[in-house]
């Protein structure tokens, strides 16, 4: 590695970095789990509760159709929310950590 002068262990323990990675990890895994739950609910409902999926909502369109459509919009929403959260919170925090690294390197 080209950065021999850096004590990565110390950096990994710096308060800013700890804040960044713990908040980011919590955010990412929480939303991944929520997304996965929504995703697996579809085959589970279709497989084990087919009668529910057949209930008509609008015209010929049933729960199964709107459930599938909902998945698309829900995953889009996760993507947009994550982008927003990154741009407004994680990215600025990352910049602060990077500034700290440069300071460390300059020592």
Partner 1 sequence: MKRLLLAMTLVLALSTLAVAAPHGNPQPVTGLVAGGGVSTPVVRSAESSAREEKKDASTNRAITLGMFLAIIILTGVIVVKSARSTKTTSDYYTAGGGISGFQNGWAIAGDYMSASTFLGIAGMTALFGADGFMYTVGPFFSFVTILLIVAEPCRNAGKYTLGDILSLRTSSKVVRGTAALAAVVVSAFYMIGQMVGAGKLMQLLIGIPYNISVVGVGVLLVLYVTFGGMKATTWVQIIKAALLMASGTLITFLLLWKFGFSFVGFYDAVATSPAIQDHVRGLLKHAAPQPGFDYGQRFLEPGLILKNPLDQISLGLAFALGAAGLPHLLMRFFTVPNARAARKSVVIAMILIGAFMIMVTMIGFGAAIYLTPQKIIAADKGGNMAAPMIAQFLGGGPGSLAGDLFLAFVCAVAFATIIAVVSGLILAVSAAVAHDFYVNVLKDGKPDQQQQIRVARITAIGIGVVAILLGIACESQNIAHLVVLAFAMTASSNFPVILLALFWKRFNAGGIVTGLIVGGLFTIAVVLASPTMTYPKRIAADAKKVVEVLEKKQVEGMTLAEKEVHTLAKARADYEKNKDGTSFIGLDAPLFPLKNPAILTVPVGFLAAIMGTFLFGNRREEEKFAELYVRQNTGYGISDAVDH
Residue closer to partner 1 (CB basis): 89 or 94:
94
Which residues have CB under 8 Å from 35's CB, separation 6+?
Answer: 74, 75, 78
Per CB under 8 A, does 89 bind partner 1? no
Q: Are 60 and 82 in contact (CB under 8 A)?
A: no
Residue closer to partner 1 (CB basis): 47 or 106:
47
Tokens at residue 47, please? 């497989």
Tokens at residue 29, please? 């895994």
Q: Are 53 and 64 in contact (CB under 8 A)?
A: yes
Residues in contact with partner 1 by the rule CB under 8 A: 1-3, 6, 8-9, 11-12, 17, 20-21, 24-25, 28-29, 31-32, 35-36, 39-40, 42-44, 46-48, 50, 53-54, 56, 58-62, 64-65, 68-69, 71-72, 75-76, 78-80, 82-83, 86-87, 91, 94, 97-98, 101
């Amino acid at each position: 590695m080209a950065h021999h002068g850096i004590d990565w262990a110390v950096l990994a323990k710096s308060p800013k970095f700890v804040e960044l990675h713990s908040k980011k990890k919590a955010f990412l895994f929480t939303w991944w789990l929520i997304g996965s739950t929504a995703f697996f609910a579809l085959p589970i409902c279709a497989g084990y509760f087919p009668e529910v999926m057949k209930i008509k909502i609008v015209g010929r369109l049933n729960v199964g159709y709107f459930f599938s459509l909902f998945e698309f919009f829900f995953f889009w929403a996760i993507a947009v929310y994550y982008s927003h959260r990154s741009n407004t919170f994680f990215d600025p925090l990352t910049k602060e950590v990077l500034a700290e690294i440069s300071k460390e390197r300059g020592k």
